[in-house]
Chain A
Amino acid sequence: MAIVASLTSCRKESEVSGIVNPNNRICKTFSQQFDAVWNGMSQGYMFWGRDTVDWDQRYEQFKPVFEAFDARPASNPVTPSEYNAAYQGLFQGLLDHHLYGKFTVPKGQYEAIVSPGMNDYYHPDSYADMERREELRVLQQRLDFVQGSYYAYDPEDYGSFTIPGMYCALLKLRQGQYIGYFRFTSFYLSNVHTYYSILPQNDAVQEPLRKFYGPRYWDGVNSEGGYASDESVVGLIIDLRGNGGGSTADLIPFIGSLSQSSTLVGYTRVKDGFGRLDYSPWSKYIVGCPNLHLRKAKPIVVLSDINSVSCAELATMLIKNLPNGTFIGERTYGAVGALWPDSEHQHDYFYSGCFGDYDYYQYGRDIYRYKDFYPYYVYTSTYHMVDCDYNDIEGVGVKPDIEVLFNWNTLRNNQKDLQLNAAVDHIRKATREQ
């Protein structure tokens, strides 16, 4: 009995009892802030199954750095660059391309901001450049073959839902046949439409949507009144280049309505425990087809580039998976793990995704000017997503069916958008074969 009693005590004590919820922690020192951030990532980061970063090694490496910060005398304070370098080093190389963290010190004197995925953004010159997006948009309006174009710029700011550069056009393909072109610069249109129930409707925003989808654009492709369903429009181009993402609520009415049935986009999973490899099983991610949808399948080309992020990548995957869909352009950014940044309870619901101090996230460090603690906020994915063949997209991007690299000189000097031309050629060829 004595042997049995002694052996039953061989079970290890749980180490998690001391672990606390990383949401809304009050940290009084540099190292307390570090511990809260490190633990929050250890418990709730979605990509430990794929990430090559050794998070335990990072603890060994950076814990002494933050402890040394605490030990510094007032005559030798921690500098902003030292603080920033410590957090940059801690997060360096993490896979999540949504990942964004910000950390500050008492009174908000200075802060560190990390976004490790952006390191991938410094891509080869041949890829489109985010800085050139605005110029690209202006140039595209001068393209010779654009007929009957409608351009909308929303001068009002509906919260964060600005949609500058949304653009609708008819491109002449051959006598009596056209291509419907629509450029989404973000996916907040459903949210904007909801705002119209309390705010005045905005024709500048709604006009291109009505032209392309019809009068009830928020419900999908109307059977009459929009380019998409018009008999003379034999193909569609959805331009998502430079689209930084938005709400997945847009996918069904604005992308799913271009299909004839629901479409499997890929599979997702969430965390379901403390362990870094505690995951739920994979679940199908299907984008539905609304009642108002395109009745007759037409060739659809989606144009995306490395500046197409998040929801724009989901839309790209959706169109790419359609039997009549083709993706032309460059690989996308590779940030497809969806999240809810505005939900304070996200970590409480899922024990993964964004965590930290939500006031600091929303209102910035200024509100901490008179406080004596060290707030932090980490914006990271709630879902891990793979494509229909279980290939990872995060950090890799969606690969085009036909790769056409962005050529800035050709666009600027010759007014030729090679990616758009390739899309038109593809539809011309596809409709000729019909």
Chain B
Amino acid sequence: MKKHIILLVALLTTATTLNAQGVETVDSLSRQSAEKHLFWSIGVTGGFDRNYHIVDMSYMNEYRYSKYAPGMSYGLQLSFSPLRWLSLRVEGVMLEKNYYRDHVIGGTATSLPDTTINQYVNVPAVLMLNVGNKVRLHAFGGGYWGKWLTSARRGVTYAMNGLTTYEENLDFESAESQVRDNRSDIGLVWGGGISTVIKRHLEIGVEAKWFYGLNDVQKPYMSQLNPRYNTTVVFQGGLSYWF
């Protein structure tokens, strides 16, 4: 955790320094350009994601996790662009880190499928490099902090009467959840995209970004715990207003 905090502080310090340098150079850039350079933008994004839930089930090989599960995402982003080629962006993203699982009993045809829908809010802070003028390419990297907001699952399980279906919303306030579930979410984020200005002050774009979780979704409540991590790839389109 300490390592993650140090990294985040380092990124923000670097960004602030670049920002201070950028203020001096922006006037000269603006003079060279026909249009005035705009520093700030606010935007909305929306799209879908794919979550890769990483679990080692060891000899429990009848539990089969799907390679990935889809979800929805949307967000709000704020950018500061001290230079045309450099931006600092902070974003609030609602995204789903879902997974599918199947439990095939003892080599029989009995299958107990399970779908878990996990909603998170992630707040990534990234440094973004921009190339181009009318059409711009972007590459960015940074870190994110987040919170696990809700979890719901539905599927089939064994009841005393045999197989039965269920739907359940996880209660994070329950005693077991308090011990087991790690609701904070910290990790790395990186990605790239393409955008274009469609009208003065208005820019549209698409991008892909990877949220690479660095913390286990479980608290370390027992020895020999098998960690579970999320890696989520988000594909989004967005609209930004520059001012």
Q: Are A273 and B60 in contact (CB under 8 A)?
A: yes
B188, CB-defined interface residue at 8 Å: yes
Find residues 1-24 in chain A having any chain B CB closer than 8 Å to their own CB.
Answer: 3-4, 7-8, 10-12, 14-17, 19-21
Q: Are A268 and B160 in contact (CB under 8 A)?
A: yes
A275, CB-defined interface residue at 8 Å: yes
B42-53 interface code vs A (CB 8 A; 1 in, 0 out): 000000000000
Give the docked Cα–Cα distance between A14 and B59 (Å).
Answer: 13
Cβ-defined partner of A274 (8 Å) among B160, B188, B226:
B226
Q: Are A8 and B180 in contact (CB under 8 A)?
A: no
Find residues 160-177 in chain B having any chain A CB closer than 8 Å to their own CB.
Answer: 160-161, 164, 166-168, 175-176
Q: Are B157 and A275 in contact (CB under 8 A)?
A: no
Q: Are B157 and A274 in contact (CB under 8 A)?
A: no
Q: Are A272 and B103 in contact (CB under 8 A)?
A: yes
Return the chain A residue nearest B186 by Cβ: A10
Contacts of B32 in A (CB 8 A): none
Give the docked Cα–Cα distance between A279 and B222 (Å).
Answer: 15
Return the chain A residue nearest B154 by Cβ: A281
**In angstroms, how far is the closest chain B Cβ from the Cβ of A136?**
31
B199, CB-defined interface residue at 8 Å: no
Q: Are A7 and B59 in contact (CB under 8 A)?
A: no
B6-44 interface code vs A (CB 8 A; 1 in, 0 out): 010000000000000000000000000000000000000
**In angstroms, how far is the closest chain B Cβ from the Cβ of A35?**
11
Give the docked Cα–Cα distance between A359 and B242 (Å).
Answer: 75
A358, CB-defined interface residue at 8 Å: no
Return the chain B residue nearest A283 by Cβ: B159
Q: Give the contact-size bracket for chain B.
A: 35 or more
> A383 and B160 in contact (CB under 8 A), knowing A8-B212, A349-B106?
yes
Find residues 191-228 in chain B having any chain A CB closer than 8 Å to their own CB.
Answer: 212, 214, 216, 218, 221-227
Contacts of B159 in A (CB 8 A): 268, 283-285
Give the docked Cα–Cα distance between A133 and B160 (Å).
Answer: 30
Cβ-defined partner of B60 (8 Å) among A49, A274, A276, A277:
A274
A248, CB-defined interface residue at 8 Å: yes
Task: State the main secondary structure of chain B at its contact with A.
Answer: mixed
Q: Are B3 and A281 in contact (CB under 8 A)?
A: no
Q: Are B157 and A19 in contact (CB under 8 A)?
A: no
**In angstroms, how far is the closest chain A Cβ from the Cβ of B189?**
10
Q: Are B223 and A56 in contact (CB under 8 A)?
A: yes
Cβ-defined partner of B166 (8 Å) among A14, A17, A55, A280:
A280
> A273 and B158 in contact (CB under 8 A), knowing A49-B176, A59-B223, A281-B153?
no
Q: Are A14 and B227 in contact (CB under 8 A)?
A: yes
Q: Are B7 and A351 in contact (CB under 8 A)?
A: no
B141, CB-defined interface residue at 8 Å: yes
**In angstroms, how far is the closest chain A Cβ from the Cβ of B47?**
23
Cβ-defined partner of B56 (8 Å) among A17, A285, A349:
A17
> A275 and B161 in contact (CB under 8 A), knowing A4-B141, A49-B176?
no
Return the chain B residue nearest A15 by Cβ: B224
A53, CB-defined interface residue at 8 Å: no
Give the docked Cα–Cα distance between A313 and B224 (Å).
Answer: 35
Cβ-defined partner of B58 (8 Å) among A3, A16, A279:
A16
**In angstroms, how far is the closest chain B Cβ from the Cβ of A58?**
11
**In angstroms, how far is the closest chain B Cβ from the Cβ of A316?**
15
Cβ-defined partner of A350 (8 Å) among B114, B141, B158, B218:
B158
Contacts of A42 in B (CB 8 A): 222-224
Q: Are B225 and A284 in contact (CB under 8 A)?
A: no
Q: Are B227 and A277 in contact (CB under 8 A)?
A: no
Q: Are A16 and B160 in contact (CB under 8 A)?
A: no
Find residues 53-86 in chain A having any chain B CB closer than 8 Å to their own CB.
Answer: 55-56, 59
A240, CB-defined interface residue at 8 Å: no
Contacts of A49 in B (CB 8 A): 175-176
B135, CB-defined interface residue at 8 Å: no
Q: Are A16 and B226 in contact (CB under 8 A)?
A: yes
B179, CB-defined interface residue at 8 Å: yes
Q: Are A280 and B224 in contact (CB under 8 A)?
A: no
Contacts of A350 in B (CB 8 A): 158
Cβ-defined partner of A279 (8 Å) among B105, B176, B218:
B176
B190, CB-defined interface residue at 8 Å: yes
Contacts of B164 in A (CB 8 A): 283-284
Sampled A-B contacts (10; CB under 8 Å): A3-B7, A7-B3, A7-B7, A11-B214, A15-B225, A16-B56, A272-B114, A275-B225, A281-B166, A349-B105
Instruction: Give the top 10 A-B pairs by smallest Cβ distance, nearest first.
Output: A283-B159, A14-B56, A281-B168, A16-B226, A280-B157, A277-B180, A16-B58, A285-B160, A281-B166, A15-B224
